Amino acid sequence: MITSDADLAAACGRWSAARVIGVDTEFVRERTYYPIPALIQVTDGDSVALVDPLRISDFAPLAAVLADPSIVKLMHACGEDLEVLALVTGATPRGVLDTQLAGAFAGHGYALGYRSLVKELMGVVLDKGETRSNWLGRPLSPPQRRYAALDVVYLLPMHRRLSREMAALGRAAWLEEELEHQRRARTEDKQPGAAYVKVRRRAALSPAHHAVLRRLSQWRETEAMARDIPRRHLLRDEVLIALATAPVPDAASLGHIQGLSERAAVRYGEAIAVCIETARRQGPADPDSPVDLRPYAGTLERLKRIVRRAADTLELPPELLANRRGLEALLISVLENGGDIPREFQGWRFDVITTSLLDCIHASN
């Protein structure tokens, strides 16, 4: 356990010399927008350190390690962990290698959890008993500490095996490209304007209603960030849909919106009314006019078959090559938006799958 600034600084000196480390975090995110850091686990292959963020005041040494691109940070399904580490240290981790993604490229299945990949590669069955533990409670029990340590123990040996397998398959460069693609996607996803695409059941809305929903979603995201509460605690998705589609001339008319509490109407009514009025005045933008894909249903099915055949040939998960949303975006780009190829279909995917997909789209058209 690392519970002092001096111990953390000394450990960071060792981790810098190791050049490859495994990192994981434990956090709580039930009633807040931002995760509450509870523990940071780090291994250099020789030992495991459990850093207690509740006891540390100077994270500068850890920030330097995380920001150093020459130090490889092995993590598994790293999205939320990266957010926790950036929140704690103020540093954007660089040199990250996601063993979940590496496992997929090596042919071990799509989006395998850490325990599943450890079982697949190392033949070890890890206990799940402390998954729902109170990680903010102190002191941590011996089972909690063991569970947390085991979350990083196997990262380095798994990486060694996956590196050999990807080198043999010639896919190491593919992994690097995909890691960079996901890094950019995470950066874009954090912007309040991207909150719109997270709203469920929005596809059936008219362009005008889409415009209102987009404005409301951005407001909800910004407000949830400012108040540090989950967006669903502010307004649920179904309430946003109802607000986007109902006639709401002013704040006083919000009372009939199903699911909107009186308290929320009083607290946020004016802001909601301004969002709706502004969106209606400005009108729909390009993102608010979704393309009707029903005429292309047959083409989409052919595209999915191409993906499945390529995945079988390469012994890769088809989801790694392209999912339905990606295929729809490619189809729309080629047929409706002047032929620009989405970023995810460039790079390593271009020769592997994109050229065949484009041939199919042009032939169908």
State the CATH number of the domain containing residue 137: 3.30.420.10
Q: Which residues contact 123 (CB under 8 A, 6 or more apart)?
A: none
Give pLDDT tens digits for 160-217: 999 999 999 999 999 999 999 999 999 999 899 889 988 988 888 999 999 999 999 9
Question: Is residue 101 located within the same domain as residue 13?
Answer: yes
- Sheet-wide strand order for 48-51: 48-51, 36-43, 20-28, 72-75, 96-98
Which of helix, strand or coil describes residue 333? helix
User: 355-364 and 324-335 helices cross at what angle (nearest 10)?
Assistant: 60
Domain boundary among 154, 189, 224: 189
Q: What is the block-wise mean pLDDT of the chain (365 residues), using blocks of 10 residues?
A: 98 96 97 97 97 98 98 97 97 96 96 97 92 92 96 98 97 95 91 89 89 95 97 95 89 88 93 94 84 90 97 95 94 83 94 95 87
Shared domain check, 281 and 307: no
Does residue 127 share a domain with residue 47? Answer: yes
pLDDT at 174: 96
pLDDT at 287: 75
Same domain, 140 and 167: yes
pLDDT at 179: 95
CA dist., res. 239 & res. 265, Å (int): 11
Residues 123 and 81 in one domain: yes
User: Is the domain of 26 the same as that of 143?
Assistant: yes
Please say whether the beta carbons of 308 and 321 come within 8 A: no
* Number of domains composing the chain: 3
Which of 162, 189, 216 is a domain's end point?
189
CATH no. for residue 360?
Answer: 1.10.150.80
> Which of the residues are catalytic?
24, 26, 81, 147, 151
| Shared domain check, 35 and 76 | yes
SS3 content of the chain, % helix, strand, coil (to 5): 60, 10, 30
284 — phi, psi (to 5°)?
Answer: -70, 145
Same domain, residue pair 148 and 9: yes
Listed in order, strand segments (DSSP E) in the chain are 20-28, 36-43, 48-51, 72-75, 96-98
One domain for residues 143 and 158: yes
For residue 169, the enclosing domain spans: 5-189
Q: How far apart are CA 208 and CA 285, in angstroms?
A: 9
Examine the domain organization and report whether 27 and 155 are in the same domain. Answer: yes
- Prior bond to 53 cis, omega within 30? no
Per-residue model confidence (pLDDT) at position 337? 72
Q: Which of 258, 288, 318 is the last residue of a domain?
A: 288
Residues paired with residue 42 on neighbouring β-strands, in sequence order? 23, 49
Are 255 and 335 members of one domain? no
Q: Do 123 and 81 share a structural domain?
A: yes
